[in-house]
Amino acid sequence: MATIDQTTRQTTGPTTGQTTEVGGPPAQGTPGHDPHATSTGVTNTKLAIWLFLSSDCLFFGAFIASYLLYRGRDVSGPGPRELFDIPFTSATSFILLMSSLTMVLALAAIQRGDHRRVRIWILATALLGATFIGGQVFEFTEFSREGLHVSTNLFGSSFYLLTGFHGAHVTIGIIWLLSLWGMSTRGRLPTKKAESVEIAGLYWHFVDVVWIVIFTVIYLIPQPR
Amino acid sequence: MSEGTLQRVEGDVAVAARGELGHALEPAPGLLPGEERPHPSPFKYVVIAVALCIVTAIEIGTSYLQGDIPNGLLIFLLLAMALLKFVGVAGWYMHLQTDKPIFRRFFILGCIAAVILYTIVLATLSVFAA
């Protein structure tokens, strides 16, 4: 049986005889190491973000399902056939896809300790995201000019709600990234905090993945006649 | 044995177990907590991005075939390409391929739950009826 030295809080294994420090400081040279070891072998923060993303699937699933439910059931007002500009939306989709690349390059940079490149890639991600939001705002403005508002018809309410919530997620992501960029410029984002960038990256990639689904289901799949 | 003594012994056993197992819960050298294998290299990320762009371009091109191919086939192709991009981003950019399986399980559980739940809802409301 393992013995415990109460004065030093060290344990000695029964078979190995090795001494292990209990609740000691994190191991040196292990970036992102959580000093509070968990029973799952993963950090609580990372597990929590994955649980959140898992629940967010249900959140967006509800709005996508609502859109599919109301599709083709409008009796008045403009519809997707008259309004959608597929080439324009394709360009904004491409921009969001590229922002996922810059985000993952930022993570790779902080893992190898290249902080200058971290700032460059994080800022690039935020700027690409802002460009995407700009495209969304332009699209919403054009649709509004054509007479489509939230209360115009079923298409209007379901479309604006779904893409609006997605846009809100992207905006929150941009603010998150800019705060990380600010922390990095002040030297408060060392390599051992790489997990902070990873978690922001997971959120950003999820937002991109949701847009992949939205773009296909709403814009590309043919509308009922 | 009194309750206080029993609790102290339980606490000591838990601490000893943690001390014995603590090293097994630490990541291998060179890996971050939660990683099973090293993450892809930056070059691989760029290759994946190029592949995603190509699939997106094919997807957009396919959408213009409406009327030339049956709608059912068109929808199937579009959803298949969307799923391919979804797996590409989730697998490599979100590191589900290289991280511990627990993350994959939680995320896939959420996705499957959403698909099943809302398929049932839409079927109940006759969205799929001819």
Q: Which structural domain range is residue A206 located in?
A: 46-220
Low-confidence ranges of chain A (pLDDT < 70): 1-38, 225
Q: How far apart are CA A148 and CA A145, in angstroms?
A: 7
**Cβ of B107 and A111 within 8 Å?**
no
- Using CA atoms, how far residue A28 sits from A58, B28, B32, B98, in Å, is 40, 13, 13, 23
Q: What is the predicted pLDDT for the residue at A9?
A: 43
Q: Establish if A206 belongs to a structural domain.
A: yes
**What is the CATH number for A174?**
1.20.120.80
Q: What is the predicted pLDDT for the residue at A163?
A: 96
Q: What is the predicted pLDDT for the residue at B11?
A: 62
Residues 6+ apart with CB under 8 A from B27: A30, A33, B33, B34, B35
Q: How far apart are CA B48 and CA A127, in angstroms?
A: 21
Three-state SS at A41: coil
Q: Establish if A28 belongs to a structural domain.
A: no
Q: What is the predicted pLDDT for the residue at A7?
A: 44
Q: Establish if A1 belongs to a structural domain.
A: no
Domain ranges of chain B: 8-99, 100-130
Give me A85's structure tokens.
């500009």
Q: Establish if A211 belongs to a structural domain.
A: yes
Dump pLDDT digits (tens) for B6-42: 767 766 665 665 555 444 445 555 566 677 778 888 9
Q: What percent of chain A has pLDDT over 70?
A: 82
Element holding B10 (H helix, E strand)? helix B3-21
Q: What is the predicted pLDDT for the residue at B19?
A: 53
Q: Establish if A88 belongs to a structural domain.
A: yes
- Chain A within 8 Å of B14 (Cβ-Cβ)? no
- Chain B within 8 Å of A139 (Cβ-Cβ)? no
Strand ranges in chain A using DSSP code E only, listed in sequence order:
3-5, 10-12, 19-21
Count up the domains in chain A and report the number. Answer: 1
DSSP 8-class letter at A36: S
Q: What is the predicted pLDDT for the residue at A26?
A: 41
Q: Establish if A161 belongs to a structural domain.
A: yes
Q: What is the predicted pLDDT for the residue at B96?
A: 87
Q: What is the predicted pLDDT for the residue at A73?
A: 84
- ipTM score here? 0.77
Low-confidence ranges of chain B (pLDDT < 50): 21-25
- Chain B within 8 Å of A137 (Cβ-Cβ)? no
Q: What is the predicted pLDDT for the residue at A85?
A: 93
Taking contacts as CB-CB distances below 8 angstroms, the residues of chain B near A64 are 118
Dump pLDDT digits (tens) for A190-216: 998 999 999 999 999 999 999 999 999
**Cβ of B90 and A54 within 8 Å?**
no
